[in-house]
Amino acid sequence: MEQEAAIPGYWDDPRQAQRYMQQLGGLKDTVSLWRNLQSRAASALELAELAIEDDDYSYQEQLEAEARDISQAIAREEINLTLSGPFDDRPAIVTIHAGAGGTDSQDWVEMLLRMYTRWAEESKRPVQVMDLSYGDEAGLRGAVLEIGGSYALGYLRSERGVHRLVRLSPYDPNHLRHTSFADVEVLPAALDEESEAEVRQDDIKMDFFHSSGPGGQNVQKVASAVRLTHLPTGVVVTCQTERSQHQNREYAMRILRARLLDLENKQRAEDLAKLRGQRVAPEFGNQIRSYVLHPYKSVKDHRTNYQSTNPEAVLDGDLAGFIQAYLMSKVGEGE
């Protein structure tokens, strides 16, 4: 690939060349990582053999630490081997919708928004809240955020589905136990070249309206919120998080492009419908994961049976165990 990149005329098609160079960079990183692990393992084995020959135990602690580091690196790469889907390396656009449960479910949306934001921050991933739709009393009817970084879509596809919360409701005057539901949708972000090919300005109807905050209060006097309607498909996207009309329009276009890419993939091949997963009603019996805060504390994934007894940590973004269990459960299924 490096030899091909040196051929005259290689950059005549800049976009194709850029994609090619990105692919080359990824392959070089992979080769470098495995060669480094191979070298470290060989050095550790050589040191161990010398220590055994000399009956020298002074290197034992160093060798054990190196063996742990190498084993952990291999375990991480084993997880990465599951990220082979056609869009797994893309940024992810995560949409959270309130389901059954009234005000509690809208509060649950806000809790999930914080959970994914914290996960992204702890993973040092860029995260951008693209749209918020406020509830009448508290919480959010819906939220959209974009999470980037390496294999964001690949990791976050474990989160799509219905999430169930059981707790003592802060909105119940009798403080009774309530069950709330929220639906999480995860889509791959569209690349610029795909977007230009698929979205024509003549196909978009654009409306502007006043952004609103909690309780329906107008948060500003100018109509900066944006609603885009893609006329050929009927897909509607709104965005009202920013004070700038231009910024809201940009976010709305990114969400629209992701939805159109998903729609195109479904039409192109039935197998790619897995990108979005089967849509089910966000209510009892359809949940992929349950978060129980009362009468006991537990978070359980019903697809893998992976469980945590520390829901506070999970809601603070500690999702690694759930994501890894899901990805390993899909090995061999072709997802």
**What residue ranges do the domains of the chain occupy?**
2-80, 92-189+280-329, 194-270
Tell me, what's the pLDDT at 274? Answer: 54
Contact (Cβ atoms closer than 8 angstroms) between residue 290 and residue 277: no
* Token couple for 17: 């060349």
Q: Is the pLDDT of residue 231 over 50?
A: yes
High-pLDDT (> 90) share of the chain, %: 44
Q: Is the dihedral of CA 184, 186, 189, 194 positive or negative?
A: negative
Please indicate whether residue 248 or residue 212 has the higher confidence score (pLDDT): 248
Instruction: Say if 92-189+280-329 and 194-270 have the same CATH topology.
Output: no
* pLDDT higher than threshold 60 for residue 221: no
To 5 degrees, how large is the angle CA 138–CA 141–CA 145?
110
Nearest-angstrom CA–CA distance, 152 and 158 = 11
Residue range 136-154: average pLDDT?
91
pLDDT of 241 over the 80 cut: no
Q: What is the pLDDT of residue 335?
A: 47
What is the strand order of the sheet 235-239 is part of? Answer: 204-209, 225-230, 235-239
- What pLDDT score was predicted for residue 217? 42
Mean pLDDT of the chain: 85
Span 120-130, pLDDT tens digits: 999 999 999 98
Q: Hey, CA dihedral for 214, 215, 217, 223, is it positive or negative?
A: positive
Tell me: the pLDDT tens digits for 288-297? 999 999 899 9
pLDDT > 70: what percent of the chain?
Answer: 86
pLDDT value at residue 300: 97
pLDDT at 91: 92
pLDDT mean over 167-190: 90
pLDDT of residue 334: 52
d(CA 309, CA 298): 4
Q: Please give the structure tokens belonging to residue 332.
A: 């061999």
pLDDT at residue 214 in the model: 52
Q: Which CATH number fits domain 92-189+280-329: 3.30.450.40, 3.10.100.10, 3.30.70.1660, 3.40.50.720?
A: 3.30.70.1660
Residue 143 contacts residue 97 (beta carbons within 8 Å): no
Which pLDDT band holds residue 280 (cuts at 50, 70, 90)? low
Its CATH class, for the domain covering 194-270, is alpha beta
Largest Cα–Cα distance in the chain?
81
Is residue 222 predicted with pLDDT exceeding 80? no
pLDDT of residue 140: 93
Q: How large is the average pLDDT for residues 37-47? A: 95
Backbone angles phi, psi at 307, to 5 degrees: -140, 145
